[in-house]
Protein backbone atom coordinates (compact mmCIF):
# COMPACT_ATOMS: atom_id res chain seq x y z
CA UNK A 1 0.00 0.00 0.00
CA UNK A 2 1.45 3.31 -0.95
CA UNK A 3 1.30 6.23 1.47
CA UNK A 4 1.19 9.87 0.58
CA UNK A 5 2.16 12.85 2.64
CA UNK A 6 -0.41 15.58 2.92
CA UNK A 7 0.20 19.22 3.53
CA UNK A 8 -2.21 21.44 5.33
CA UNK A 9 -4.35 23.76 3.29
CA UNK A 10 -1.73 26.47 2.94
CA UNK A 11 1.11 24.02 2.42
CA UNK A 12 3.20 25.09 5.39
CA UNK A 13 2.92 22.07 7.68
CA UNK A 14 2.86 18.34 7.21
CA UNK A 15 -0.28 16.66 8.45
CA UNK A 16 1.10 13.14 8.45
CA UNK A 17 0.24 10.25 6.18
CA UNK A 18 -2.90 9.46 4.28
CA UNK A 19 -3.77 5.98 3.12
CA UNK A 20 -5.23 5.59 -0.34
CA UNK A 21 -8.99 5.57 -0.39
CA UNK A 22 -10.71 2.23 -0.47
CA UNK A 23 -13.18 1.83 -3.29
CA UNK A 24 -16.21 -0.27 -2.57
CA UNK A 25 -18.08 -1.97 -5.39
CA UNK A 26 -21.30 -0.27 -6.37
CA UNK A 27 -24.25 -2.59 -6.56
CA UNK A 28 -26.28 -1.94 -9.65
CA UNK A 29 -29.81 -3.29 -9.87
CA UNK A 30 -29.66 -6.58 -11.68
CA UNK A 31 -31.79 -7.54 -14.64
CA UNK A 32 -33.37 -10.30 -12.59
CA UNK A 33 -34.54 -7.77 -10.00
CA UNK A 34 -36.13 -5.64 -12.74
CA UNK A 35 -37.98 -8.68 -14.07
CA UNK A 36 -39.27 -9.50 -10.58
CA UNK A 37 -40.44 -5.92 -10.09
CA UNK A 38 -42.30 -6.12 -13.39
CA UNK A 39 -44.03 -9.34 -12.32
CA UNK A 40 -45.04 -7.79 -8.99
CA UNK A 41 -46.46 -4.77 -10.82
CA UNK A 42 -48.46 -6.93 -13.23
CA UNK A 43 -49.86 -9.08 -10.40
CA UNK A 44 -50.71 -5.97 -8.38
CA UNK A 45 -52.67 -4.58 -11.35
CA UNK A 46 -54.90 -7.68 -11.25
CA UNK A 47 -55.66 -7.41 -7.53
CA UNK A 48 -58.66 -5.34 -6.30
CA UNK A 49 -56.48 -2.89 -4.26
CA UNK A 50 -58.91 -2.84 -1.33
CA UNK A 51 -56.24 -3.66 1.28
CA UNK A 52 -58.82 -5.68 3.23
CA UNK A 53 -56.29 -8.05 4.80
CA UNK A 54 -58.39 -11.17 4.15
CA UNK A 55 -55.41 -12.82 2.45
CA UNK A 56 -53.26 -12.38 5.54
CA UNK A 57 -51.18 -9.48 4.23
CA UNK A 58 -51.46 -5.81 5.18
CA UNK A 59 -51.94 -4.58 1.62
CA UNK A 60 -52.56 -5.85 -1.88
CA UNK A 61 -49.00 -4.84 -2.81
CA UNK A 62 -47.57 -7.09 -0.08
CA UNK A 63 -49.79 -9.89 -1.35
CA UNK A 64 -48.45 -9.33 -4.88
CA UNK A 65 -44.88 -9.48 -3.55
CA UNK A 66 -45.63 -12.75 -1.76
CA UNK A 67 -47.25 -14.28 -4.85
CA UNK A 68 -44.33 -13.22 -7.08
CA UNK A 69 -41.75 -14.63 -4.66
CA UNK A 70 -43.64 -17.92 -4.28
CA UNK A 71 -44.51 -17.44 -0.60
CA UNK A 72 -48.25 -17.31 -1.32
CA UNK A 73 -50.39 -19.31 -3.77
CA UNK A 74 -51.63 -17.73 -6.97
CA UNK A 75 -55.17 -17.54 -5.59
CA UNK A 76 -54.17 -15.93 -2.26
CA UNK A 77 -56.62 -13.04 -2.68
CA UNK A 78 -59.96 -14.01 -1.13
CA UNK A 79 -61.92 -11.55 -3.28
CA UNK A 80 -60.75 -12.30 -6.84
CA UNK A 81 -58.22 -15.09 -6.32
CA UNK A 82 -59.94 -17.83 -8.32
CA UNK A 83 -60.73 -15.46 -11.19
CA UNK A 84 -57.17 -14.18 -11.62
CA UNK A 85 -55.23 -17.38 -10.76
CA UNK A 86 -54.73 -18.48 -14.40
CA UNK A 87 -53.53 -15.00 -15.38
CA UNK A 88 -51.15 -14.87 -12.40
CA UNK A 89 -49.73 -18.30 -13.32
CA UNK A 90 -49.13 -17.03 -16.87
CA UNK A 91 -47.26 -14.00 -15.48
CA UNK A 92 -45.11 -16.17 -13.20
CA UNK A 93 -44.14 -18.54 -16.04
CA UNK A 94 -42.53 -15.75 -18.07
8: in domain: no
Residue-number span of the structural domain to which 39 is assigned: 31-93
- Residue 76: CB atoms within 10 A of its CB come to 20
Average pLDDT, the chain: 80
pLDDT, tens digit, 9 for 90 and up, residues 27-82? 555 656 777 889 999 999 999 999 999 999 999 999 999 999 999 999 999 999 99
Q: Of 32, 39, 33, which is closest to residue 66 (Cα–Cα)?
A: 39
- Claim: this prediction has a pTM higher than 0.75: no
CATH of the domain at 39: 1.10.15.40
According to DSSP, residue 56 is labeled S
84: in domain: yes
* Sequence-ordered list of residues with C-beta below 8 angstroms from that of 72, at least 6 positions apart, any chain: 55, 56, 57, 63, 66
Amino acid sequence: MQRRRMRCRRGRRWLGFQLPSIRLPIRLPSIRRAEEDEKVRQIYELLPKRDCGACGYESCYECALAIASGEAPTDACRIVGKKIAPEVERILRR
